[in-house]
Structure 1
Amino acid sequence: MKPLLLECGRDDVETRLLGTATTSRNHLASSIHLRWNGDPLYVSSMLGLNHTQQVESAQSSEWKKEIWKLHGLTVAASQATVLRLYVVPVFQTQALLLYRSKTSPVWLSGGGGKPTFQRVSTEDQSREVRKVKAMAIRAFYSLGLDYGVAKIGIQPGNQIVVVDVAPGPRINREMGVQLAEAVQLYIKRLPRLWASLDQVMLGADPEFIMQKSNGTLVMASDYFPRYGSVGCDAIWHGQNRSIKPLVELRPKPNKDPRQLVLRMYKDMMTASRRVNNKQVEWLAGALPHPKYPLGGHIHFSGILLTFQLLRALDLYLALPLMLAEDGNGVQRRPRYGFLGDYRLQFHGGFEYRTLPSWLISPTLTKGSLAAAKLIAARYPHLPLDDWYDRKLQQAYYRGEKKKVRERVKVLWESLRSLKEYAWYEKDLDRFYQMIVSGITWNEKEDIRKRWKLPPYQK
């Protein structure tokens, strides 16, 4: 299976895509390789779209189902019926078009004739359409693919399921045009995927939870407003939506990760004076309370979002951080903490949502943000081959640290080889030493102790 070879920098790329990316039978080329002699040179993963090995693996329905279930996606049974069926052409983080079946129900086994479809606006803000687009994108990402056509079904009870994904399906002219334009845009953006450190703006909204020593939850809404630099997360407790258990820090974004940490510290200092009580413990990590998984979301702007960037964050940040997590944290995945979890933001950037709350200690906080900054700026130079290793993904989701630790050591050497590593060497080295030491964080320990906040401030 040879990939379609495209020369970057030529004026006729889009014409060639429309002429050669589909065959006479309107089948989309299942893999594309970009020949680019730009400066700086990128690793091969940046110049391949739908790597041939992943395309070959995707020919197996059983393989796809196994991967989707590993990543926490709900998969339709082969003999199932769905109320509605969506066909979604995807290029990386974009759902390019939406088609929805007119007939209901749709028999996936082929009975009852082929359904007919109608166009649905990709700007439709209904919950179903938003969930369908997100599911289609996740289905491609989890398989290590970059583009193609997904089929997403709606089962009784409005359950959204993955029906199938095809990297080289039959397509209509409209799909061909949209996919060709997406590839052309990716090619145009290649020189801009490499960023200077001062170009990347960082933000964050890490969470923590408060409880008494006997395990009784203390509501964040009793102390903090809904919004502000220290506020309540949107999740509510019980039936009353005004009662909210999670505290969220929202420091003003900054290009310097050290300054971002300093702003978080000041916000925590203000919050700690308000809750200056040793009987109320502050807990962070992945799952210090069984009902409330915590996140350490990191926001990015000033850079372009690609699947390769998400895979680099998975490999060089989520995987290392998993080595230090409390053993209980594995229960957070895959509903939360799944690989490649992101959300677009109103400011034009995005947040990476895979990580647990790294507020556990200053070492983890400084290291996580410094690594995020370095990865975001230099990921086109970082090898991503390990991301496609199914056994490594399984080890991540199962919390099998022994299978991950040696691989992380090799990955970290790639990160260390970047000349910009020296900018944050102190914070990154301390972070690395902690994650490979075999020592794990204690999610039952008050984080104010390590941060030296009141009432533990010396």
Structure 2
Amino acid sequence: MEMEALNLILDNTESLRSVRDQIVTSEKTLTPSIRLQGIYAEPMLVLNDEVAVKGLASREHKIACLKIHGLPTIAEKTTLLRQYILCIFQTRVLLVYCSKVRQAWLAGGTKTKREAFRRVPSADNTREVRRIRALAIRALYATGLDYGVVKMGIQPGNTAVVLDVKPAPRLNKGMEAAFAEAINGYVTQLPRLVTEPDQVVLGADPEFLMCRTGGGLVMASRYFPRFGRVGCDAIWHGQNRADKPLVELRPQPTNDPRQLVIRLYKGMLVAAKRVNMPQIQWLAGALPHPRFPLGGHIHFSGISVNFKLLRALDHYLALPMVLVEDKRGVYRRPKYGFLGDFRPQFHGGFEYRTLPSWLISPVLTKGVLAAAQLIVARYPFLPATDFRDLSVQRSYYNGEKENLRARAARLWEELRLLPEYKVHQRYLDTLSEFLFSGKTWDESKDFRTLWKLPPYHR
């Protein structure tokens, strides 16, 4: 595989044809890496980092990347019911093909017979296709790529596995056109990716649990509706699907992190009045109860999601937060809290889902929301590429604080150098003091104390 990156040059009169001619090699394969020209930080100007591409030449490295992110891979010998080939550019699945053969035997990752594939209609929204799409995007992200082909398989029992990830696959005409259009679209969009912080509208749905002193769960569904500004999550407890233990706060979105914190606080006041049980504890963080991992999901409206943005959030927010998390938080990952976890939203934005519940304290909440807004607004100028190193990924997933501390300090200084840092400097500086204090949060403690929430007595 040729490792040298293509320096993409655009002809403004025929940019799409120009892109297609450059990215497709004479062997009808996709060029494995692309470098662009521009004023932004290097991560924005490289599609398919050359280090990531080189690493994927080793199948052992490829499998290690996938496994550390919690993605299912195949054993040396397995039976597959179906295979899928997905062409992906960052968060977009461009094309999907499914095998026509009912069953195929793989040995050591090599198929024993050539298979025919049919194109899956883009409107196909069946459960299997949705699952395959989501896992394939995760697989591409986990291997450090921006574009490529992901091969997936369906095993007996309808379990999905990742078979391969290729940065330089062979292409048919449809693939050539799809990749050319996606890459051209990214280049065209580059100048519009930077925005002012106050143009980034924030929402959130952080979760928390209520537990009795003896450890028994208090069902959120007894006090809160499924939907609403304060509601319960869909996850149920035990055999009764009506018993839902997770409380979610869902404040009205705003472009002001301070206002969002106020709305979160008002939601907590509503919850405190409705439950009216001072003898219970309110618990946040990553995993205060071993069966119920918690999330601190942040929503961004009017913002296009791409891998560059997700990697910036992973570097400048998820990585530093490991320094202060309770030691039990490591067990939330990688099923939850995996890097680059996102979900598109109906309003045209997206939800970043990697973080644990940051309701632990007002300091954490204010700082996380302010940092998230800053990162999303100015990520094209942020230079970090730490996560292309597999050892850094392992340190994140294993919660190895000391291995991450120096990196986190450097990352925070890169945030501090942004002129827009001063917009919410008080929140960000206070969060920084906490992150590098050597302290950790204790998610077995009632977080109402730090929020000065009143316990209501009858």
- TM normalised by structure 2 equals 0.97
Q: Secondary structure at the match of 2:8?
A: strand
**Alpha-carbon distance, 1:142 to partner:** 0.8
Alignment of 1:125-140 (within 5 A): 125-140=125-140
Q: Is the 8 A contact 2:315 2:384 kept in 1?
A: yes
User: 2:78 is matched with which residue?
Assistant: 80
The amino acid of 1:329's aligned partner reads G
CA distance in 2, matches of 1:228, 1:333: 28
The answer to whether the aligner puts 1:377 opposite 2:384 as a matched pair is no
Q: Is the 8 A contact 2:231 2:248 kept in 1?
A: yes
User: 2:399 is matched with which residue?
Assistant: 399
User: 1:284 is matched with which residue?
Assistant: 284
CA distance in 2, matches of 1:237, 1:375: 36
User: 2:203 is matched with which residue?
Assistant: 203
Alignment of 1:22-421 (within 5 A): 22-36=24-38, 41-109=39-107, 110-421=110-421
Aligned length: 453
- TM normalised by structure 1 equals 0.97
Q: Is the 8 A contact 2:205 2:248 kept in 1?
A: yes
RMSD, aligned CA = 1.3
User: 1:14 is matched with which residue?
Assistant: 16
**Alpha-carbon distance, 1:12 to partner:** 2.4
Q: Secondary structure at the match of 2:273?
A: helix
Q: Structure 2 vs 1, CA of residues 8 and 419 (structure 1 numbering), >3 Å: closer, same or farther?
A: farther
CA distance in 2, matches of 1:132, 1:172: 21
The amino acid of 2:31's aligned partner reads A
**Alpha-carbon distance, 1:9 to partner:** 6.8
The amino acid of 1:12's aligned partner reads E
Q: Is the 8 A contact 1:448 1:456 kept in 2?
A: no
Q: Is the 8 A contact 1:8 1:35 kept in 2?
A: no
CA distance in 2, matches of 1:46, 1:26: 26
**Alpha-carbon distance, 1:237 to partner:** 1.2
CA distance in 2, matches of 1:296, 1:234: 15
**Alpha-carbon distance, 1:14 to partner:** 1.5
What is the percentage of aligned positions where both structures have the same residue? Answer: 56
Question: Could you tell which deviates more after superposition, 440-449 or 16-25?
Answer: 16-25
Q: Structure 2 vs 1, CA of residues 12 and 3 (structure 1 numbering), >3 Å: closer, same or farther?
A: farther
CA distance in 1, matches of 2:345, 2:166: 29
Q: Deviations over 1:395-417 (max 9, x none)?
A: 11001101011110011000000
**Alpha-carbon distance, 1:11 to partner:** 2.9
Q: Secondary structure at the match of 2:36?
A: strand
User: 2:426 is matched with which residue?
Assistant: 426
CA distance in 2, matches of 1:295, 1:51: 30
The answer to whether the aligner puts 1:447 opposite 2:454 as a matched pair is no
CA distance in 1, matches of 2:78, 2:29: 27
Q: Is the 8 A contact 2:303 2:348 kept in 1?
A: no
Q: Is the 8 A contact 1:208 1:248 kept in 2?
A: yes
Q: Is the 8 A contact 2:205 2:298 kept in 1?
A: yes
CA distance in 2, matches of 1:26, 1:385: 30
CA distance in 2, matches of 1:276, 1:434: 31
CA distance in 1, matches of 2:122, 2:293: 31
Q: Secondary structure at the match of 1:365?
A: helix
CA distance in 2, matches of 1:96, 1:13: 19
User: 1:2 is matched with which residue?
Assistant: 4
CA distance in 1, matches of 2:265, 2:65: 40
CA distance in 1, matches of 2:187, 2:111: 42
Q: Is the 8 A contact 1:208 1:284 kept in 2?
A: yes
The amino acid of 1:454's aligned partner reads P
CA distance in 2, matches of 1:26, 1:232: 52
CA distance in 1, matches of 2:406, 2:131: 37
Q: Secondary structure at the match of 2:151?
A: strand
Q: Structure 2 vs 1, CA of residues 438 and 174 (structure 1 numbering), >3 Å: closer, same or farther?
A: same
The amino acid of 2:15's aligned partner reads V
Q: Deviations over 1:263-287 (max 9, x none)?
A: 0001111111122222111100000
Gaps of 5+ in 1: none
Runs of 4+, deviation exceeding 6 Å: none
The amino acid of 2:32's aligned partner reads S
**Alpha-carbon distance, 1:58 to partner:** 0.8
Q: Is the 8 A contact 1:2 1:31 kept in 2?
A: yes
Q: Is the 8 A contact 1:276 1:454 kept in 2?
A: no
The amino acid of 1:155's aligned partner reads Q
Q: Secondary structure at the match of 2:165?
A: strand
Q: Is the 8 A contact 1:317 1:372 kept in 2?
A: yes
CA distance in 2, matches of 1:298, 1:8: 36
Q: Deviations over 1:148-184 (max 9, x none)?
A: 1110011111111100010001110101100100001
Gaps of 5+ in 2: none
Q: Deviations over 1:85-134 (max 9, x none)?
A: 00000000011011000102122334541111111123322111011111
CA distance in 2, matches of 1:263, 1:147: 39
**Alpha-carbon distance, 1:17 to partner:** 2.3
